């Protein structure tokens, strides 16, 4: 069963940080064989944010996490754990989470990273919620942060037009007072037979860095876009339907759908298969592109900050990514808004 059956788990604050630099489709036209119209038609993306030279994933994560804590009214030294979902860490080790823990002076907190493609956001939230529900932790800071702009081939129009940089965060707690939402359930899946659809093949054990891996462009994100589209449309609609049913509700009872902001065509196609109107989806990929493990956090934060959600409404967060992995969480909004603008 995907339901959290232990202690209630509440959401208390959210935050985000995106770089200042905005890269438009028109600017990409000058360096890549593409057009604004081609990008919008195939992805829905108009602009994306790009990190400044010297700006690190841990920098974005720290600011987003700090803002979420301030919104929640929870001090860093009250945290039991910090979890960071990322596919573009500053270094393989130490992890981004440890750097954030140190920068926040969260002296009581443990820290670990989750690397599960773009689905890392959902996996990290599920781990945090399970830890609180079981009684292991009281307060957990969960962050999704990416600087994928440094890991893509800027001559490959199939990938470079998609990704943007950014970070988002949520603070989860066992405390009910002042909560934004309550976590109801989570459901996670993986299909490792499709592990070749999205990959970053160079630089580690399978393909150690060498002149050959550099010449072969193995140190860049590689993606079979058409195959990803097919996989998501085959796997996600039925999975989401079943997750709702196992949680005791129907897909029609979900008031808002917060998808991983990968591609407008994917979101539209999945919702049509579920017979859900696109007006129920939170969309911001037109402004930020695909921020990978950060996208659900950023979209949710902006929706709450903009007053789109109302008490009692049910929100489904879902993502999919390299692995292939996919998953979802269902929340119910509570009576107070504690989001920092």
Q: Give catalytic residue positions.
A: 118, 260, 290
- Helix runs in 170-219, H state only: 211-215
User: What is the rounded CA–CA span in Å between residue 166 and residue 46?
Assistant: 16
User: What is the rounded CA–CA span in Å between residue 152 and residue 156?
Assistant: 8
Neighbour count for residue 192 (Cβ, 10 Å): 8
User: What is the rounded CA–CA span in Å between residue 316 and residue 85?
Assistant: 19
Tokens of 42: 């195939």
Task: Tell me which H or E stretch contains 113.
Answer: strand 110-114
Task: Tell me which H or E stretch contains 38.
Answer: helix 36-43
User: What is the rounded CA–CA span in Å between residue 167 and residue 131?
Assistant: 23
Q: Which DSSP letter does residue 51 get?
A: P
User: What is the rounded CA–CA span in Å between residue 206 and residue 63?
Assistant: 34
Q: CB of 65 within 8 A of CB of 177?
A: no
Q: Which DSSP letter does residue 215 get?
A: H
User: What is the rounded CA–CA span in Å between residue 283 and residue 263?
Assistant: 10
Looking only at the bridges linking them, the beta strands covering 256-259 and 314-321 are: parallel
Report angle CA 158, 161, 163 to the nearest 5 degrees: 105
Phi, psi of 129 (to 5 degrees): -65, -40
Phi, psi of 142 (to 5 degrees): -115, 130
Using alpha carbons, select from 57, 321, 51, 56 the residue that is nearest to residue 199: 321
């Amino acid at each position: 069963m995907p339901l959290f059956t232990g202690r209630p788990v509440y959401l208390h604050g959210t935050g985000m940080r995106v770089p200042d630099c905005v890269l438009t489709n028109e600017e990409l036209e000058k360096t890549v064989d593409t057009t604004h119209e081609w990008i919008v038609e195939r992805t829905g993306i108009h602009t994306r944010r790009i990190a400044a030279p010297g700006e690190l994933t841990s920098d974005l994560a720290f600011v987003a996490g700090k803002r979420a804590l301030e919104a929640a009214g929870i001090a860093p030294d009250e945290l039991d754990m910090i979890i960071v979902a990322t596919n573009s860490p500053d270094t393989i080790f130490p992890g981004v989470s440890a750097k954030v823990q140190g920068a926040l002076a969260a002296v009581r907190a443990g820290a670990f990273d989750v690397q599960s493609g773009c689905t890392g956001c959902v996996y990290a939230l599920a781990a945090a919620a399970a830890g609180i529900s079981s009684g292991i932790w009281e307060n957990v800071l969960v962050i999704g942060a990416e600087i994928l702009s440094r890991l893509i081939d800027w001559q490959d129009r199939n990938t470079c037009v998609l990704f943007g940089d950014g970070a988002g965060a949520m603070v989860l707690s066992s405390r009910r007072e002042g909560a934004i939402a309550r976590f109801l359930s989570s459901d996670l899946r993986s299909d490792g037979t499709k592990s070749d659809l999205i990959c970053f093949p160079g630089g580690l054990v399978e393909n150690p860095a060498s002149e050959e891996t550099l010449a072969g462009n193995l140190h860049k994100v590689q993606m079979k876009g058409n195959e990803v589209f097919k996989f998501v449309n085959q796997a996600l609609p039925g999975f989401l339907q079943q997750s709702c049913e196992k949680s005791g509700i129907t897909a029609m009872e979900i008031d808002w759908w917060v998808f991983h902001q990968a591609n407008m065509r994917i979101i539209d196609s999945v919702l049509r298969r579920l017979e859900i109107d696109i007006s129920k989806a939170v969309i911001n990929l037109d402004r930020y592109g695909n921020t990978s493990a950060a996208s659900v956090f950023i979209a949710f934060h902006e929706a709450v900050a903009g007053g789109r959600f109302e008490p009692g409404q049910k929100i489904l967060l879902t993502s999919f990514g390299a692995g292939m992995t996919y998953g979802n969480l269902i929340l119910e909004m509570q009576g107070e808004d504690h989001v920092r603008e």
